Amino acid sequence: MAVTTLEPQQSSHRWPFLLPDGQRFLFYALGAPATAGIYLGALDGSAPTRLMPADSAGVYLSEGTGPQAAFRSSRPGRGDAVREGGWLLWVRAGTLTAQRMDLGQNALTGEPVALADGVAASGTFQSALSVAANGLVAYRNAGGNQRQLTWVDRSGTTLGTLGAPDENNPQYPSVSPDGRRVAVTRKVQGNTDLWLMDGARLTRFTFDAGVDQLPIWWPDGSRIVFNSNRTGQFDLYQQLASGTAVEDRLVASDQFKTPTSVAADGRFLLYFSLDPQTSEDLWIVPVSGDRTPFVFLKTPFRELSGVFSPDGRWVAYMADQSGRMEIYVRPFTAAPASGVGADVATGQWQISTAGGVYPQWRSDGKELFYVSPAGDMMAATITARGATLEAGAPVTLFPRRIFGGRGDPSPIRAYDVARDGRFVINAVVAEVTPPITLLMNWRPDGNK
């Protein structure tokens, strides 16, 4: 039974934290800035209360440090509830922060208190903060991990770097068609935006308060496509690479969407969309005319990260129909005019043989690259013969662990390939497991 319902401009609810009364819980709503934040919900499904805007989840610390000091108020609205609660803890701009929480009034009171600095922010699927019933607080420290976008050749030899080592973890690199710039996603001071890297120069590209991520260059280098939750859902936008003019929304729906490829002739955008019934499916939208999206591949399995071949005749993608993620290719035939009536041809060829994620084509279409479950860069030759395709045995190009290049089927694109054959990878420069700090016997205001 669902106990929360997405509100307008929200894309997901996550990180539930059950309160000591066993009836209410904290959760985090991801969405547009006007609706994102920490909420107080109830298991009876009643309307939640937004406690504060925030970019991380919150946890609840009962007043006192032992079970005898646990939450003692009755359920709200029943009898004379004791106006006593505890503290809401969350991470704000790297600072572990606490504020009194009146559970009788479902509200925060007083002023925030800083507990510790240098605290890691919550990730997409994990929190950096936890509390125990006895009052013990645990948090993960920030820092220690640095990534650097690095140019390598097909043997893995380093050719150069982009920018300095970066603790803001530049992700989802996308190389411009001329090979001079790389668009990335960076989270700086709690805000996720697109940035452009040109050698040592780093400039911010998007400025919206929402999450802007997953850039894809247009084939002629004139535009960048990305997804953003500025209206609540993760819709698809395009923006001129010059930064002029406002963003143009290409696809809007109530499902999470990730852009992955633009056809070489600029007529079609390929993306995957998360359907609650069928998981991720591949969709295509014509970028001119009425822009009505149509399904490329929709099955009970997961299909992600589709990319058009350079000649537009094939689509490579990853799917878990065998029980693990593998790389496949299917043909694609577009109508010659507006794209209306485009035909998704039949046929399928498996390219990887031992698992694989994140396919990318060589610029001439005669080779497919992908990342193995171990994080190695792989390649397989591709030979098209009319309406059929032959794939060579996959080979390892370089056994180098790429950050984010695991067999985990997430939307993270851990590398890209320039037209001249160079690879840009998110290399691990320094990786130190951040320590977990325990905060014991914290007694704000003397616990009076």
User: DSSP states of 88-142 as a string?
Assistant: EEEEETTEEEEEEEETTTTEEEEEEEEEEESBPPP-SS--SEEE-TTS-EEEEBP
pLDDT of residue 123: 53
Q: What class does CATH assign to 145-431?
A: mainly beta
Q: What is the pLDDT of residues 271-320, one digit of tens each?
A: 999 888 888 999 999 998 888 999 999 999 999 999 999 999 999 999 99
Residue 418 in contact with residue 424, Cβ under 8 Å? yes
What would the mean pLDDT of 14-25 be, rounded to a whole number?
A: 91
Q: Where are the domains of the chain?
A: 10-142+433-447, 145-431
What would the mean pLDDT of 382-395 be, rounded to a whole number?
A: 94
pTM above 0.85, yes or no: no
Q: Is the pLDDT of residue 203 over 90?
A: yes
pLDDT of residue 76: 43
Torsion sign, CA atoms 373, 375, 376, 382:
positive
Q: How far apart are CA 331 and CA 84, in angstroms?
A: 64
Q: How far apart are CA 257 and CA 271, in angstroms?
A: 7
Alpha-carbon Rg for the chain, nearest whole angstrom, is 24
Average per-residue pLDDT for the chain: 84
Residue 250 vs residue 232, higher pLDDT: 250
SS3 206: coil
User: Which of 205-209, 344-348, 374-378, 403-407 bottoms out in mean pLDDT, i.e. has the lowest?
Assistant: 403-407
% of the chain exceeding 90 in pLDDT: 48
User: Which of 59-68, 245-254, 335-344, 346-355 bottoms out in mean pLDDT, i.e. has the lowest?
Assistant: 335-344
